[in-house]
């Protein structure tokens, strides 16, 4: 089983990853992070880490491939229209990947 957590490098996302590490083996966890410089921190925890941009379909296709459970954590935007577009983008990619 693969659990993909978006926004993993944010405050909430990091807490979700830590909680999942107590519940399942690290091979089951995939951390989706926006900033590629933060990938190494998750790899040190033993989880899969992938670059994920909510507005880049190719990155979401790669991140969501093989995902059984998707935990969507929105970005820290306060622009409502951008948040709606972000959610629509994630939902489209999730549906396409079958997760």
- Residue-wise pLDDT tens digits, 47-74: 999 999 999 999 999 999 999 999 999 9
Phi, psi of 4 (to 5 degrees): -100, 130
DSSP letter assigned to residue 52 = -
Q: What mean pLDDT is predicted for residues 80-95? A: 93
Beta bridge partners of 31: 5, 49
Question: What pTM value is reported for the model?
Answer: 0.92
pLDDT of residue 54: 94
For residue 77, pLDDT beyond 90: no
Share above pLDDT 90 across residues of the chain, in percent, rounded to a whole number: 89
């Amino acid at each position: 089983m693969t659990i993909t957590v978006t926004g993993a490098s944010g405050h909430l996302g990091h807490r979700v990853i830590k909680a999942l590490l107590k519940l399942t083996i690290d091979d089951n966890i995939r951390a989706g992070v926006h900033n590629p410089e933060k990938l190494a921190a998750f790899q040190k925890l033993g989880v899969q880490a992938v670059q994920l941009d909510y507005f880049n379909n190719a990155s979401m296709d790669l991140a969501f491939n093989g995902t059984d459970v998707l935990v969507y954590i929105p970005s820290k935007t306060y622009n409502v229209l951008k948040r709606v577009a972000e959610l629509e983008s994630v939902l489209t990619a999730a549906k396409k990947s079958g997760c």
